[in-house]
Amino acid sequence: MRRTAILLISALALLGCGQPKLDGSSDEALQKSITKVSDSLSGEKKEQFKSDVQLVALSQLDLGRVLKGETNATTARMNMLSVLDGKTADEVAAEARRIIEEREARERTQAIAEINDLTEKSKKSEAAKSQIAKFAVVKSRFYLQEEKYSYTPKPYIELTVRNDTDKAVSRAYFKGTIASPGRSVPWYVDDFNYEISGGLEPGETADWILAPNMFSDWAKVRATDDAVFTVEVTRLDGADKKAIYDATGLTEREQKRLQELKTKYAGG
């Protein structure tokens, strides 16, 4: 039994020694050895070997560091030769698998972190809605007014707001919608904001007349007479100019991104 085991080990050792290896002593030597190793493989394995060699070699090329001047093309080339030197086809394949597994692990870690960030942003947005609702839009009106010496009517937004939050507000952000009853598609939807001179303290009410740019899309609105202008508060900034409540939520792009990441990394 012992003799059989020794013979088996010896045979495996000889088999391993018999596999052609890559020679990374120079560019020319590497190319010749790649051809030699490739010629010793069957069809499918030959193509896989070429793919593995490319992957392992390119893993040594960090374009970011090259562009920053932290390394150069010569160093990258030497690293490529070194990482492939002395390896058999099986060893190159093993190194390629290791690189792929490490890359997938990094991608997964980054994806999970992004999922958590987007989910947290969505949760904070929902939580902010109850507080933002306390900043009431009591009255809203949109209209176009003809201006003297101008062929283009000027848009105006009139708002009456009341601050029932317990915080002073320095700027308010809104989403305005112009729509007619019975029509499924609004005439116009857009975001706008207003910086409040002196701020709006808790319990205070204010009347504002805002004048969007007469060359903006607000001036192009041509709604029917029964159109209604509704305004939704989406964010409030405090005295320090930073958001105290933000219910803007995820953008369409972020929502799509979150769903894609969940489907791929969190099972939907």
Q: Which domains does the chain have, with CATH numbers?
A: 133-237 (2.60.40)
Cβ atoms of residues 206 and 196 within 8 Å: yes
Considering the entire predicted model, what is its pTM?
Answer: 0.65
Q: Give the whole-angstrom CA distance, residue 165 versus residue 130.
A: 10
Q: What is the pLDDT of residues 147-197, one digit of tens each?
A: 887 788 899 999 999 999 999 999 999 999 999 999 999 999 999 999 999
Q: How far is CA 146 from CA 82, 151, 157, 220, in A?
A: 76, 8, 14, 13
Candidates 175, 199, 200, 201; CA nearest to 189 is 175
Q: Give the whole-angstrom CA distance, residue 8 versus residue 3.
A: 9
What pLDDT is stored for residue 5 in this prediction?
Answer: 43
Kindly indicate the confidence band of residue 65, based on its pLDDT and cuts at 50, 70 and 90: confident
What pLDDT is stored for residue 14 in this prediction?
Answer: 41
* Residue 52 predicted with pLDDT over 80: yes
For residues 199-214, give the mean pLDDT: 96
Amino acid at 5: A
Q: What is the pLDDT of residues 228-247, one digit of tens each?
A: 999 999 999 999 999 999 99
Task: DSSP letter for 153, please.
Answer: P
